[in-house]
Amino acid sequence: MNVWIAIGLTTAGCYLVKLLGLSVPAGALERPAVKRLAALLPIALLAALTAQQTFGEGAALVLDARAAGVAAAALALLLRAPFLVVVGAAVLVTAAVRTLTG
Amino acid sequence: MTETAGTADGHGTQRADGDRTASVPRSDRAVVRDALGVGVAVGLSGFAFGVTSAGAGLTLLQTCALSLLVFTGASQFALVGALASGGNPYTAAAGAFFLGVRNAFYGLRLSELLHVPRALRPFAAQWVIDETAAVALAQSGRRAVRIGFAVTGATLYVLWNLTTLLGALGAAALGDPRAWGLDAAGPAVFLALLAPMLRTATERAVAGLAVVLVLVGMPLLPAGVPVLVAALAAPVVLALRGRVPARGGKGHGR
């Protein structure tokens, strides 16, 4: 049930912000401060999520094969690889490191 | 859903050299090719979401509902990640919601260009995400913008949901997704989204502070809360920096 609550809230929230963007007059959200914060908020969230899902094991911090995989993704990004290659590199390297290290 | 917006960095819209000049509207075919390129590449990564979601303990129905209804990839990955780590539904949904807020700013930019008829707005809204914005905003002329938005949106919506289903179904056959390295798909998606956004010192400072906050917070705070605390890196850095002119002005309203 908890999962459905989360799905319902996320669905409603994400849909409403999409609709809001298409519907409000252009000037409404164009204040510089709002725009800057809106640009920086996803950066903070994405950086935090990347770190959490790379090093997190429940509440503990661990260094495991995922770190190698995400490092491979970072390298692929530096080499301007397409999105699918970036994700693929992370998955393959993580799997390879796990296999090698048992 | 994924990166590609702010496509000055070569992600996403993979256009052949020389088939575009700044002011001449491109052929419909060229726009469709761009749209399909992005739609197919990103649509396929729905497979990773399906597997990740199933691995996080969500049912097939719940996993497919997320892709059908939420349809913005980063938020979906964030939600199942938070639920998997034992977060309560409210903090999990909050994290996913805050990630989705950026779509409002794409909508602002797109509404001026698309001029969606009022009756279609509720339907078009569902497709306002990173990739559709990236492809549409890269076009010139209303017709090209509309084609780019519609073709990218349709391709992605169909493929993303199809591959989500396949991933969720395949998860059982795969056994432990960790053995296949699929637990690295989520963070890789986030990183791919993040990379093109890190243009200025302010942006890098926000990212760095957010990483520190989340890593410090994880052992200390309840699941789901550390990410929300890390989001405070944005206003904190803004406050410390004062009024730094935002560069990278070609970003799409981020």
Question: What string of pLDDT tens digits covers the 254 residues of chain B?
Answer: 543 443 333 333 333 333 444 445 578 898 898 788 777 777 777 888 999 899 899 999 999 999 999 999 889 999 999 998 888 999 999 999 988 888 888 888 888 889 899 999 999 999 999 888 888 887 888 999 999 999 999 999 999 999 999 999 998 788 787 888 888 988 998 898 889 889 999 999 999 999 999 999 999 988 778 988 999 999 999 999 875 555 444 444 33
Out of B76, B92, B180, closest to residue A95 by CB: B180
C-alpha to C-alpha distance for A98 and A90, rounded to whole angstroms: 12
Question: A33 near B245, Cβ under 8 Å?
Answer: no
DSSP assignment of B32-90 equals: HHHHHHHHHHHHHTHHHHHHHHHHTT--HHHHHHIIIII--HHHHHHHHHHHHTT--HH
Q: How far is CA B214 from CA B46, B99, B207, B223, B236, in A?
A: 26, 16, 11, 11, 14
C-alpha to C-alpha distance for A71 and B46, rounded to whole angstroms: 22
Residue of A nearest to B111 (CA): A22
Out of B78, B192, B254, closest to residue A87 by CB: B192
Residue A33 C-alpha, separation from nearest chain B C-alpha, in angstroms: 9
Residue B138 C-alpha, separation from nearest chain A C-alpha, in angstroms: 17
Q: A63: which chain B residues are within 8 Å (Cβ-Cβ)?
A: none
pLDDT digits (tens, 9 = 90+) for A4-57: 999 999 999 999 999 998 988 766 667 788 778 878 888 998 899 899 999 998
Out of A22, A52, A80, closest to residue B121 by CB: A22
CB contact under 8 A, B85 and A58: yes
pLDDT digits (tens, 9 = 90+) for B174-219: 878 788 888 898 899 889 888 988 999 999 999 999 999 999 999 9
CB contact under 8 A, B191 and A74: yes
Residue B26 C-alpha, separation from nearest chain A C-alpha, in angstroms: 23
> What SS3 state is found at A57?
strand
CB contact under 8 A, B184 and A70: yes
Out of B10, B103, B254, closest to residue A21 by CB: B103
Question: A76 near A85, Cβ under 8 Å?
Answer: yes
Q: B72: which chain A residues are within 8 Å (Cβ-Cβ)?
A: 14, 18
Q: How many CB atoms lie within 10 A of CB A61?
A: 15
Q: B223: which chain A residues are within 8 Å (Cβ-Cβ)?
A: 58-59
Residues 6+ apart with CB under 8 A from A32: none
Nearest Cα residue to B186 out of B46, B86, B39: B46
A-to-B residue pairs, Cβ atoms closer than 8 angstroms: 327
Give A57's strand partners.
A60
Question: A45 near B78, Cβ under 8 Å?
Answer: yes
Residues 6+ apart with CB under 8 A from B40: B155, B159
CA angle B124, B128, B133 (to 5 degrees): 120
Residue A80 C-alpha, separation from nearest chain B C-alpha, in angstroms: 7
Domain boundaries, chain B: 4-197, 199-254
Q: B185: which chain A residues are within 8 Å (Cβ-Cβ)?
A: 87, 90-91
Residue A100 C-alpha, separation from nearest chain B C-alpha, in angstroms: 11
Give A61's strand partners.
A56
Q: A46: which chain B residues are within 8 Å (Cβ-Cβ)?
A: 74, 99, 190-191, 193-194, 197, 207
